[in-house]
Each structure stands twice: as structure tokens, then as C-alpha cells.
Amino acid sequence: MNRHYQLGSIVVARMDFTGEGAYDYALHGTLVAKIINAIASDASLLNAKAVDRYGDVDEIAVFQALEWSLDNGADIANLSLGFQRECHGDCWLCQFVDTLVEQGMAVVAAAGNWGPSDSTISCPGNAARAVTVGATEAGAITPYSSRGRADQEKPDVVAPGTIEVGRFHLSGTSIAAPMVGGILASLYGPYERQKVLGSLSTGCADLGFSRNQQGYGQIDAHKILEVL
């Protein structure tokens, strides 16, 4: 994570699983962290680096990063990454994510940027217990946002997937995921965790798309508060 972006004071622990050090050369993880911090300013962050400077990610590194995060007391893991493959939630990574959720850590996963075809959600977004996030722009599902199979209840929710950083227009489910992770983190303090997660099914705005495109709909913090 890049200290230039003034995250040093809220990052309570760091670990590198890429072999190149904890510094975020690509700035992808830093941007994700800044989105979470902007929504949940009181949350502390763990920096488990699994993506290298070239944007490459090793699946074993993701496993190690998740395990380390759980061991260090993480309440929520944000995974703005994914592996595209045919999976019904039964690959080893998806099963591991489900086990982590059973142990009390919520896992927010980007759906992937492989749309608009069906059956394009990446792993671990295919994990049954992951909160899988697709992307919207201007109230519509973006063409790139990965869709689930016709018989798959994924993604779980969608969120805005575009952000302006200076002159740059950045888009992707990697941006939508921390929007959801930040909302969950902001609610974990005043509300019981399972109630917060349970509120997602009714705390979303229906955009009128199919279940395997929008999930329950676009996450709406005000609706979630009404539910809670």
C-alpha cells in the first residue's frame, strides 16, 4: 500500500505475499483501501498484498493472504481480484472462502469484468457464502460486469463501479466491491454482524435486471439502515 496516499495511520498490519515487498507499485490496492476508508473512516485496515506490480496474482498468495487476515482478526476481507474459470463454487478457493465465512469473516469479492455473457463470474465470487459484487453506472448494469449462470444466485449485489481520480476515469468491479465492503465496515460497529449481512437481501434498490445480473439490486445504505 502506497504511503503517499496517507493510509499509513489506519493500516495496522502489513504482509507481502508477492515477494516484492508491501509497497503498492500498481496503486490498485491503495485505491481500493481509499474507497473503503472514505466510507468507513473509523475502520482499521490490514494490508495483505497478493497482487504484484504487473497486476499478476498467484492463487496460493490469495489463500495465504486470507489466512493471514483471519489470524490477525479481520472482520471483512475485500477481494478486488478473481480467477476466471468454470466453477460452481466447488473449487478449492471458493470452498476456503466459505470456510472463512463460517468462521466469522465476511468476504466481499468482485464479480469480475468478463460480462456481458452469462456464466462469467470469477472465483472466489462463485463461493456460495461470499458477498459477490457486480458493477453499475448511471443506474444500469455495466456491460463488463460479470453475470452468473441462469440458475446461479450471483452476484449478490451491485454497486457503482466508476470513480474519477484526477483526469482518470477508472471502472471495474474492483471498484464496486470496496463500495460494499466499506458500507459493511461502517455498520459493523453499531449493529450485529449477522444482521448487517442479512440486511443485504432487502437493503438494495431493484434496478429491474435479472437476478444473475443484479443480484438483490444496487446496495443502498439508507435502505439497509431502515431494515436494521
Q: What is the mean pLDDT of residues 193-212?
A: 95
Question: What is the bridge-based pairing of β-strands 162-165 and 157-160?
Answer: unpaired
Q: Examine the pLDDT at 2 and tell me if it is beyond 50.
A: no
For the chain, the domains span 3-227
Residue type for position 217: G
Q: Examine the pLDDT at 66 and tell me if it is beyond 60.
A: yes
List all residues 6 or more positions away from 163 whose beta carbon is below 8 Å from its beta carbon: 31, 35, 170, 171, 175
**Residue 224 burial by Cβ neighbours in a 10 Å radius (0-12, 13-18, 19+):** buried
Q: How sure is the predictor about 144, in pLDDT bands with cuts at 50, 70 and 90?
A: very high
Instruction: Report the pLDDT value the prediction gives residue 3, as an integer from 0 to 100.
Output: 47
State percent of the chain over pLDDT 70: 97
Q: What is the mean pLDDT of residues 185-213?
A: 94
Measured in whole angstroms, the distance separating CA 178 from the mean position of its chain's CA atoms is 5
Query: What CATH architecture applies to the domain 3-227?
Result: 3-Layer(aba) Sandwich (3.40)
Q: What is the mean pLDDT of residues 99-107?
A: 97
Instruction: Report the pLDDT value the prediction gives residue 4, as an integer from 0 to 100.
Output: 43
Q: Where are the alpha helices (DSSP H) in the chain?
A: 28-39, 59-71, 92-102, 173-188, 193-198, 211-214, 221-227
Integer Cα distance of 176 and 174 in angstroms:
6
Instruction: Report the pLDDT value the prediction gives residue 6, as an integer from 0 to 100.
Output: 59
Q: How sure is the predictor about 167, in pLDDT bands with cuts at 50, 70 and 90?
A: confident
Q: Examine the pLDDT at 44 and tell me if it is beyond 50.
A: yes
Q: Examine the pLDDT at 194 and tell me if it is beyond 70.
A: yes
Sign of CA dihedral 59, 92, 67, 177: positive
Q: What is the mean pLDDT of residues 164-170?
A: 85
Q: How sure is the predictor about 26, in pLDDT bands with cuts at 50, 70 and 90?
A: confident
What is the three-class DSSP state of 85?
coil
The mean predicted confidence, pLDDT, of the chain is 94
Instruction: Report the pLDDT value the prediction gives residue 8, as an integer from 0 to 100.
Output: 67
Instruction: Report the pLDDT value the prediction gives residue 9, as an integer from 0 to 100.
Output: 74
Q: Examine the pLDDT at 39 and tell me if it is beyond 80.
A: yes
Q: Examine the pLDDT at 29 and tell me if it is beyond 50.
A: yes
Instruction: Report the pLDDT value the prediction gives residue 10, as an integer from 0 to 100.
Output: 87
Instruction: Report the pLDDT value the prediction gives residue 36, as an integer from 0 to 100.
Output: 96
